[in-house]
Chains A and B, each alone.
Chain A
């Protein structure tokens, strides 16, 4: 590496079979030593050789982790010197074995994902190269058995302001913990706040303050680090379910009292009795000359029976056709949030008539009292789904070194003042320009680059499909 001419960024090739490495323009992309084609092309950042030894803190600060709303994680330069460059100097803590450093790198990346919250909105879909971001794996682990820990997590579902960062460990300042939406975060100071991995670990495992009862890790992975962030599928489920409950589902709204009273009355005829018709609400057989009410869809019921139902839901108990005249339904539906969509899907087994009317019902959803907060939240959920596909669940990665206030990926509704503050992260250029030395070391890409992607996309799909399910269900 050191023999490289200064100005020419050259592509280096690394052989996964025999750990050999060479320049592409010299020996091509087939390993000259063992003939294997299981090789990886590595872009060597121009100035890398100038900074052989570097502190971990800086390394962490400049690693290339990029994410959009679809939580993109990748490092363009999978340059893992530790595995293929034995002569590499390890810097101040050079006693670390390569394995340890790999772990340290993963760990730092994980922490970056956890601690920060900066993201670049509206661009690429998730791209996973290299090994998966460790926190996702850890996340899964906690998914399985972390429920208990989650239960007493404060403020994950609602948006209680988290007063003074309830589990900020010593030495980490305001970055470590739930964001306070009303307070700009000191991003610039973060780099100094992470002097080295030892402090970091100490802070994690020996947290001070009120975190003693639950280990930091449990909080991070089990409960989702607080605030309105969640880091596990289960926790996200819980939040969304909670929101859904608040929203009372999309059950049809009640019919108006006067409309119920105005329903036309009919008498039971002999023919109806002979047909053995019953009132489908009470299941009693009809009795000759008994009085029934007839709904606009021509289904008949005892007044008392159907009135009870209509007071709760404006649908025919058989075919779901509403009794409210269409003009008024159309009117009131315009003021409704559109999230009610497909509550009729489960009625597919019924007659076409019922399906149709159910659909028309779902478009109307009249007169339910507006429940502003959940509705707003939904629209935001939908919004994030549209751009990112589940970004909320696995929310946050950041640079320790990123400047400026960053407050993002919130479920909450105060977006007006948020959008302008996203620093425009053009991650690739940015990191290669700034970092000098260890541009690409954030990801542990070299060793198992292939294995990551498969396991990686699944949680996202899961999150997305989960959303789909939830919204279909309600």
Chain B
């Protein structure tokens, strides 16, 4: 299957290169089309503004039958990103039960950027951060900004 996977990935990469998403830069790792390095720019009017977040997008061999795996290499204070060395993000279309082959990488990246603008505390991996986001927004913003300053340069 990886032949057709590669074909589709290459096609998607071409599409995305022709129409880059705002705030998203993609660097495929050399010849390996199954691993993409991505840099997200923190959206304006979010506590992540000014930050540059490195993400790893890993496409499974069975893509598009299995969802891509997205993880933050840059530490980020966000309810939907695990606060560990993995920085994994698993929600929405990235979950295997919600994934559909018709979803595209573009949609995944759009979702990731959308989450920087508007976290989804109802579907959090970091519950304490989600609580902070919901109940103490000012403090959430403050910490998120601090982390952005410290880590997302």
| Residues of chain A having any CB pair with chain B under 8 Å | 233, 237, 249-252, 280-284, 305, 308-309, 312, 315, 317-318, 320, 343-344, 346-347, 458, 462, 465-466, 469, 472-474
Q: How far is the CB of A35 from chain B (nearest CB, A)?
A: 37
Chain B residues lying within 8 Å of A465, measured Cβ to Cβ, are 127, 130-131
Q: Which of B71-112 contact A (CB under 8 A)?
A: 91-93, 95-98, 100-102, 104
Chain A residues lying within 8 Å of B127, measured Cβ to Cβ, are 233, 237, 462, 465-466, 469
Chain A residues lying within 8 Å of B64, measured Cβ to Cβ, are 281, 317
A317-B100, A318-B100, A346-B98 known; A472 vs B122 contact (CB < 8 Å) = yes
Chain B residues lying within 8 Å of A308, measured Cβ to Cβ, are 1, 65
4 interchain residue pairs of minimum CB distance: A251-B97, A280-B102, A317-B101, A346-B98
Given contacts A249-B97, A318-B102, 16 further A-B contacts (CB under 8 A): A233-B128, A249-B95, A251-B97, A282-B4, A282-B8, A283-B11, A284-B11, A315-B100, A317-B101, A317-B102, A318-B100, A346-B92, A346-B98, A346-B123, A465-B130, A466-B127
| Residues of chain B having any CB pair with chain A under 8 Å | 1, 4, 7-8, 11-12, 64-65, 91-93, 95-98, 100-102, 104, 122-124, 127-128, 130-131
Chain B residues lying within 8 Å of A305, measured Cβ to Cβ, are 4, 101
Q: Are A251 and B131 in contact (CB under 8 A)?
A: no
Chain A residues lying within 8 Å of B92, measured Cβ to Cβ, are 346
Q: How far is the CB of A108 from chain B (nearest CB, A)?
A: 29
A472-B123, A473-B91 known; A252 vs B97 contact (CB < 8 Å) = yes
Chain A residues lying within 8 Å of B100, measured Cβ to Cβ, are 315, 317-318, 320
Q: How far is the CB of A350 from chain B (nearest CB, A)?
A: 9
A318-B102, A462-B127 known; A346 vs B96 contact (CB < 8 Å) = no
Chain B residues lying within 8 Å of A347, measured Cβ to Cβ, are 98
Chain A to chain B contacts (Cβ below 8 Å), 8 pairs: A281-B102, A309-B65, A315-B100, A320-B100, A343-B97, A346-B98, A465-B130, A469-B122
A320 to B99, alpha carbons, bound, how many Å? 10
A233 to B7, alpha carbons, bound, how many Å? 44
Q: Are B12 and A474 in contact (CB under 8 A)?
A: no
> Of all chain A residues, which has the CB nearest B66?
A312
Q: Are B96 and A251 in contact (CB under 8 A)?
A: yes
Chain A residues lying within 8 Å of B102, measured Cβ to Cβ, are 280-281, 317-318
A282-B8, A462-B127, A469-B127 known; A250 vs B101 contact (CB < 8 Å) = no
> Of all chain B residues, which has the CB nearest A241?
B125
A305 to B8, alpha carbons, bound, how many Å? 11
> Of all chain A residues, which has the CB nearest B5?
A282
> Of all chain B residues, which has the CB nearest A248?
B96
A283 to B9, alpha carbons, bound, how many Å? 9
A305 to B7, alpha carbons, bound, how many Å? 13
Chain B residues lying within 8 Å of A282, measured Cβ to Cβ, are 4, 7-8
A233 to B131, alpha carbons, bound, how many Å? 13
Of A237, A249, A283, the residue contacting B96 (CB under 8 A) is A249
Chain A residues lying within 8 Å of B1, measured Cβ to Cβ, are 308
Q: How far is the CB of A292 from chain B (nearest CB, A)?
A: 15
Chain B residues lying within 8 Å of A312, measured Cβ to Cβ, are 65
Central interface residue in A250, A282, A283, A284, by most chain B CB within 10 Å? A283
A320 to B96, alpha carbons, bound, how many Å? 13
Q: How far is the CB of B141 from chain A (nearest CB, A)?
A: 20
Chain B residues lying within 8 Å of A474, measured Cβ to Cβ, are 97
Q: Are B8 and A462 in contact (CB under 8 A)?
A: no
A162 to B100, alpha carbons, bound, how many Å? 43
A233 to B130, alpha carbons, bound, how many Å? 14
> Of all chain A residues, which has the CB nearest B90?
A473
Q: Are A473 and B101 in contact (CB under 8 A)?
A: no
